[in-house]
Chains A and B, each alone.
Chain A
Amino acid sequence: MSDREVAIIGSGMHPWGKWGRNFVEYGVHAINEALEDSGVPWTDVGFVAGAGTVRNGYPGYVPGATFAQAMGWTGVPISSSYAACASGAQAIQSARVQILAGFCDVALVVGADTTPKGFLAPQKGERATDPDWLRFRLLGATNPTYFGLYARRRMDLYGATEEDFAHVKVKNAAMGALNEKARYRKAYGIDDVMASPMVADPLRLLEICATSDGGAALVVCSLEYAERLGVKNPVKVAGVSTVTPTFPNTIIEMPNMSTDSSAGIAPPAAGFKDSIALAAYEESGLGPDDLDLAEVYDLSSALELDWYEHLGLCAEGEAEGLLRDGATTLGGRIPVNVSGGLGAFGEAVPAQAIAQVCELVAQLRGRAGDRQVEGAGVGITINQGLFGHGSSVICRR
């Protein structure tokens, strides 16, 4: 549906790492890189869509304004989105909707974070009505707890092995080593992964994504604006999904202590995680067979396998086969996480979904260097933020 498409004419990223500096610094770096890439001056930007962070005080809650001020107030309208890991996709959608509604021609999307070391944890205080607080207090259930549950289930139901999960890490680390923006650029062997300490059985330290500092930005505009700028055949956003679950969601999800009950109302035909990509496919008129690459949210190595199935790259229970066949590595049928994924980046929450799209942009422009997917024309990102935030973006040339 080309009447709903917008162009991405610039992308920028601060490298991922762990420095503990002001998150605004990372975001501004990414913005300047994206603006320079696009040739659009800051003063021409008609809208700023910021993705928020809850770990950096008030400026993190109002990222649209934070970055508009940091770049120099121009009176530009802004939005600030918070949707946990899906915040970046909501910011992209916010910018896209403004452009499609005709309120502006060119918009800036930005997200950046500075994260503390260790497990992501709730903010201080006693909050017995906050499920995110309760799961830590009553159960000691961290984020990796949920990743471990999904992984163990794959082992019992589909015959996944610990070596399969390690294989995902090895594959992504090899690709991440080629990415100058990645935090971890070291290649690992299966033995290295298997020798790392257990965190949430069967997942080990090297299989669970770290938390990182980082920043990512995109310059998004109408197709007419891109044409006026003289951009030939720009990367286009063909579909964006920001779906929430349909009741009852029968899979245990962060931060919940239980699922919905399906005793009274039957579950929907497509579960929540399947519905995320389906909405993006439907909007774009594209499907799994059209994809040349995918960037999926590998919060754990095993979770990448779940996403193969939720994207429709293979049937349920067949992800291990796809991995073992080499289909999802560089040069395979459908390379997944050629950026190195979260395993090589570590998660900078509000920047991560935007960074996934930055990788699609690099690939579709043929500028991904040693990790280039040959002839990449269509790519998808997929991600999920806790508290029911789906996120998927499809880009095409």
Chain B
Amino acid sequence: MASTGSTRERIPAIEGYFTLDEDAPRLIGTRCESSGTYFFPPEHTASRAPGHDGPLVEVELSRTGKVWSYTSASYQPPEPFITPTEEFEPFTIAAVHLEAEQITVLGQCVSGVTPDDLQVGDEMELVLDVLYSDDEADHLIWKWKPIETSQEAQR
């Protein structure tokens, strides 16, 4: 018998924000073709670049970036946050700057990463993880995961 985890449906916690490629997920943004500006979350209504009117095309954003800053959620956030575990476990949040798109995107860090593990400028990659689960499915979200460099592996 397969383990129960493998049979649960995995669905995005929000539609249209990221691809569901589990090995190499990417955030989905839009790009204003006349200004060269990117938008995440994807802007579909109108370009928010002043003086530009698009068109807006959907694009996948870079999978890796550098830490702009980071902090912890040491207390349980209020609703509509859904605590994924019976007992709240503090987590780390990072703002990661994507070089090509010149945009900084917030995300939770994967479990086990603490603020003491991070520094401004550290390389991070995008992964998918469970935000919360209910009777129907595991609801997925993007998270940031440190890319272990050889230097870090040594220390």
Residues on A facing B (Cβ under 8 Å): 118-119, 121-122, 124, 126, 128, 133-142, 144-145, 147-153, 156-157, 197-203, 247-248, 250, 252, 256-265
Contacts and interface: CB of A to CB of B under 8 A. Distances in A.
Interface stretch (B3-11, B103-111, B145-153): B103-111
A145 B69 CA distance: 11
B131 interface: yes
A137 B81 contact: yes
A139 B106 contact: yes
Interface in B68-84: 68-75, 77-82
B49 interface: yes
B61 to A, nearest CB: 10
Q: How large is the interface on B (under 10, 10 to 19, 20 to 34, 35 or more residues)?
A: 35 or more
B69 A138 contact: no
A356 to B, nearest CB: 26
Contact of A260 (B48, B75, B108): B48
B95 interface: yes
11 contacts: A138-B14, A145-B73, A149-B69, A149-B93, A150-B69, A201-B115, A258-B104, A261-B101, A263-B36, A263-B101, A265-B49
Given A141-B93, A145-B93, A263 B100 contact: yes
Contacts of B50: 247
- Among A134, A140, A142, max chain B CB count under 10 A is at A140
B77 A142 contact: yes
B6 to A, nearest CB: 25
- Among B40, B71, B102, B121, max chain A CB count under 10 A is at B71
A136 B79 contact: yes
B133 interface: no
Contacts of B82: 137
B35 interface: yes
Contacts of B49: 247-248, 264-265
B71 A200 contact: yes
Contact of A264 (B36, B104, B141): B36
Contacts, number: 148
B77 A136 contact: yes
B100 A140 contact: no
A121 B73 CA distance: 15
Given A136-B77, A140-B91, A198-B72, 9 more contacts: A139-B108, A141-B77, A152-B115, A156-B121, A247-B48, A252-B104, A257-B106, A258-B105, A261-B38
B73 A142 contact: yes
A200 B41 contact: no
B95 A252 contact: yes
B24 interface: no
Contacts of B57: none
B28 interface: no
A156 B14 contact: no
B71 A201 contact: yes
B126 interface: no
Interface string B34-67: 0111111100000011101000000000000000
B50 to A, nearest CB: 5
Given A140-B73, A199-B74, A201-B74, A263 B103 contact: yes
Nearest to B91: A140
Contacts of A263: 36-38, 100-103
Nearest to B103: A261
Contacts of A262: 102-103
B37 A152 contact: no
A204 to B, nearest CB: 9
